[in-house]
Structure 1
Amino acid sequence: MLLLGLLLLTLLAGAHLLWHKWQLRSLHLPPLVPGFLHLLQPNLPLYLLGLTQKLGPVYRLRLGLRDVVVLNSKRTIEEAMIRKWVDFAGRPQTPSYQLVSQHDQDLSLGDYSLLWKAHKKLTRSALLLGLRSSTEPLVEQLTQEFCERMRAQAGAPVAIQKEFSFLTCAIICHLTFGDKVKEDTLVHAFHDCVQDLMKTWEHWSIQILDIVPFLRFLPNPGLWRLKQALENRDHMVEKQLRQHKESMVAGQWRDMMDYMLQRVGKPRVEEDHGQLLEGHVHMSVVDLFIGGTETTATTLSWAVAFLLHHPEIQRRLQEELDRELGPGASGSRIPYRDPARLPLLTATIAEVLRLRPVVPLALPHRTTRPSSILGYDIPEGTIVIPNLQGAHLDETVWERPHEFRPDRFLVPGASPRVLAFGCGARVCLGEPLARLELFVVLAQLLRAFTLRPPAGALPSLQPRTHCGVNLTVQPFQVQLQPRGAAAQALGQHP
């Protein structure tokens, strides 16, 4: 019976494919790459970039039963995501997206609509509210506490990725839940939840469901584990929602959850987009943790890895910090709002984001109506993948693109914009917070410590193969040698 069902599904899929091809027969489509096992390539963004030598910056791939259009240049990505943003603002509603996004109320995975726009505005307002008030001092305070913990381990090899991951999760916890984060227990719980959810979601047994959807009807232990992780996620968020509603004071907000809760459930007469509900706040919190923990921690880890390979850049950064802020690990505030005071630090962050955009293929887009790119027809409902890393390594745009050269950003107007956070309607809402964290954490870390490879063992600069959505660094350790007064107190040389 099962075999008969699979055969029937295969025949239906084949008939659908033939009908789809017949419908597109009169269109001028991008060239199609032969084959269908492209996802098995160990470094997919670079593989996709390599295909442009024969096919140009826009082409089609077959992933499972669907054609996917890939954009591999800054020009094509900006044409789609900025100049024609409405056409390309959709999200494909795949089986895993629908499962994770809780009835399409998710912001990152939700499809484009007027209600989605209102949800985006709500979340952005909550983030900007924090950035205007308490976020910057909070990030500095938690980073200073992080450096104190690292100083207690001075001289010993440290798995820095795990430490960064916990720090970024703590920042999101404090911004979202406010004073309720009085101990590390809540931070550890949400950190473990995020780790478990990402691990199960990125497993091949889940990803294959988006390529061959009918496999979801077969037994799948990975799917069961993902449902368990989602149940745990929702239970933890609902508990925080309940506690906030019980103690909330109308017209006042202590954190982002308070702010969002007081702005949902109110009908908007002027806009016929539906009503924002508590479930939208729930999924905004989920997005803040999923999008704001591992992504920033991974970028920080890549920055440390590159600086270990380039001690001369690290030395220049420390000289810049000492010159502008004075020697020592504390005292002067980090001038995040005046980045011109620390141009090399700003340039180094830009170069890390260029070489290792943490989500190198972004999240897939979907066309909301028929459109075009570079003269090619792009039908409605087409899945579009912007190859951000490929655009950053385009030899026609960047000089010696594979080299780590922060100085390329020190010449005004010499380097184009980095697209690490995407662009257009689907740009990462957490970009201001992520940039603040990168700036403050790297500044405080380099003021306090000199980064050294334990026993001269440099980390690999090649990402993990088949690493899923994020471009993750291979595990490595770093030795943190205190500088200045802290080094003298420990009887060490700076």
Structure 2
Amino acid sequence: MHGKGIICSEGAFWSQQRLWLGGALKQVLKDRNVGEEVGRKLCTALAKSEGQYLDLTPLLSHYIGNFMNKIIFGMEYSEDSATWHYLQELREEGIKLMGVCGAVNFLPFLRFLPQTSRNINWIKKGQFQTHKEYERIIKEREQYLSNCGTPECITDLFLIQMEERCAAGKDLESFTREQLYYLQADLFGAGTDTTLTSILWNILMLAASCSSGQDDHFMSTDNPRTNHFKNHSKTYDDALDNLLTIPTINQETIQKELIANYHDKHSNNDDSYNFQVDTDAITKSREQKGMALLKAFVLEVSRLRPVTPLGVPHGTLQDIQIDGQILKKGTMILPNHWFINRDPQVWKDPNEFKPERFLEAGAARNMFPFQIGKRRCIGEELARDLVHGILACILKEYRIELEPGTDPWCTPNHGFTLEPKKFRVKFTRI
């Protein structure tokens, strides 16, 4: 990446870009309910395949990818665009090959092996072709801005920053055209792939957790399933107490919570759905409401199936000592999320799928899916809104059933991200 972009840059260059990008994202995403925006489009598309088993990956890739296109490039591709198909193929294969080639960071001589060399060349060729398409889009955005267009995307804001610096006689510093290419690629690749993979894992587990296809080994079954809406709790405290007694959080209980909250918001006369609970039962936040069970489920899926099990590589800024082990300056460090999320000293029954653990205060503090510190993922809030919003939209309209014979716990596909094996689900309106 030549030290460009937002993921692989460092020092003053990274600090300048990080500070600017944080403000740019807030400006582009202001007053947008991104999860619902994408979720509604996806639900409309799902209606065409209702009652049929399908691989959800192409639809998710299109709608999530096009959302990222809109906020980064200010444009969208049609579903049948050959260029769009090619870019999606580059993203999908590139993510896999980056994982395979990652060993070169530790054993540089591996780059000379024929297969590794071919993989690296494929990635470089794809990068070249991607940058050509980015340059075409950049020229279109320059033309749009020259016609007094209002800035709509990250690319527009970056170009304006470049122009303002030139007009003021300032050095461009990190705001170069080359940097824009790498920044666009980082935002699109990381934003699309991690969100897509997270939703696929959740769809798989939600489908496996429904009563018609739930296996005994899937989740804890120590207590009988209960209907947590039978008392129609009126207050937050009553509702939360009711939630904490649920032995199993699954597709049905999550749907009841979402639908009950929807009716509570949209009907003042229907007491049968007068149940309300804060969105984040973990922190008892009152900013949004109705997703306590969904968020707990998503966290548990993320715990056992982390999208990036080895995180993003970091490096030591100086010689340090950890548990008697000396790490020299410049040593590459990988956070092992797979183990962190299964550490028996932190998690009770670490290998069991128990979403209810995240209804306990403070449980989420032991999860670091977006890293920690200064290099924490800048798209964390956007990613959470997309995952929660898209899943909520789907669950409020459809029952999800897993194709018979599918094992939700089969060995995943390993690349830069951890993906589920191909699976098919059926969506039926509720």
Shift in alpha-carbon separation, 1:158–1:214, aligned structure 2, 3 A:
same
Shift in alpha-carbon separation, 1:354–1:140, aligned structure 2, 3 A:
same
1:241 aligns with 2:141: no
Deviation for aligned residue 1:340: 4.2
2:388 pairs with 417, 435, 439, which one?
439
The aligned amino acid for 1:213 is P
The aligned amino acid for 1:120 is R
Query: Is the CA contact (8 Å cut-off) linking 1:421 and 1:427 kept in structure 2?
Result: yes
CA distance in 1, matches of 2:94, 2:421: 20
CA distance in 1, matches of 2:128, 2:201: 32
Query: Is the CA contact (8 Å cut-off) linking 2:162 and 2:172 kept in structure 1?
Result: no
Shift in alpha-carbon separation, 1:146–1:238, aligned structure 2, 3 A:
same
**SS at the partner of 1:338?**
strand
Query: Is the CA contact (8 Å cut-off) linking 2:296 and 2:358 kept in structure 1?
Result: yes
* 1:249-273 deviations in Å (ceiling 9; x for gaps): 5794111211122123638x9x999
CA distance in 1, matches of 2:257, 2:337: 30
Deviation for aligned residue 1:217: 5.6
Matches within 5 A, 1:19-98: none
Deviation for aligned residue 1:358: 0.3
Deviation for aligned residue 1:215: 4.9
1:227 aligns with 2:164: no
**SS at the partner of 2:365?**
coil
**SS at the partner of 1:108?**
coil
Partner residue, 2:422: 475
Shift in alpha-carbon separation, 1:335–1:414, aligned structure 2, 3 A:
closer
Query: Is the CA contact (8 Å cut-off) linking 1:360 and 1:387 kept in structure 2?
Result: yes
CA distance in 2, matches of 1:369, 1:319: 52
* 1:385-405 deviations in Å (ceiling 9; x for gaps): 111121111111111112221
Deviation for aligned residue 1:196: 3.8
1:192 aligns with 2:141: no
Shift in alpha-carbon separation, 1:346–1:222, aligned structure 2, 3 A:
closer
1:287 pairs with 178, 186, 196, which one?
186
CA distance in 1, matches of 2:309, 2:389: 24
Partner residue, 1:299: 198
2:400 pairs with 436, 451, 476, which one?
451
**SS at the partner of 1:480?**
strand
Deviation for aligned residue 1:302: 0.8
Query: Is the CA contact (8 Å cut-off) linking 1:354 and 1:419 kept in structure 2?
Result: no
Partner residue, 2:232: none
**SS at the partner of 1:451?**
strand
Under a length normalisation based on structure 1, what TM-score does the superposition of the two structures give? 0.68
2:362 pairs with 413, 429, 436, which one?
413
* 1:115-159 deviations in Å (ceiling 9; x for gaps): 11111222222222223233x2x5423321211111110111110
CA distance in 1, matches of 2:35, 2:328: 45
**SS at the partner of 2:360?**
coil
- How many residues align? The count is 368
Deviation for aligned residue 1:383: 1.3
Matches within 5 A, 1:56-455: 101=1, 103-110=2-9, 112-134=10-32, 136=33, 138-178=34-74, 180-181=75-76, 183-184=78-79, 185=81, 187-202=84-99, 204=100, 206-216=101-111, 220-249=117-146, 252-264=150-162, 266=165, 274-311=173-210, 313-326=250-263, 338-374=287-323, 376-454=325-403
CA distance in 1, matches of 2:104, 2:327: 24
**SS at the partner of 1:403?**
coil
* 1:307-329 deviations in Å (ceiling 9; x for gaps): 222226100011001100139xx
RMSD over aligned Cα, in angstroms? 2.9
The aligned amino acid for 1:353 is S
The aligned amino acid for 1:468 is G
Shift in alpha-carbon separation, 1:211–1:344, aligned structure 2, 3 A:
same
CA distance in 2, matches of 1:122, 1:189: 30
Deviation for aligned residue 1:376: 4.2
Partner residue, 1:460: 408
Shift in alpha-carbon separation, 1:443–1:373, aligned structure 2, 3 A:
same
Under a length normalisation based on structure 2, what TM-score does the superposition of the two structures give? 0.78
The aligned amino acid for 2:294 is L
The aligned amino acid for 1:128 is K
Shift in alpha-carbon separation, 1:322–1:377, aligned structure 2, 3 A:
same
User: 5+ residue gaps in structure 1?
Assistant: 1-100, 328-333, 484-494
Shift in alpha-carbon separation, 1:418–1:215, aligned structure 2, 3 A:
closer
Deviation for aligned residue 1:365: 0.9
Deviation for aligned residue 1:224: 2.8
Deviation for aligned residue 1:230: 1.4
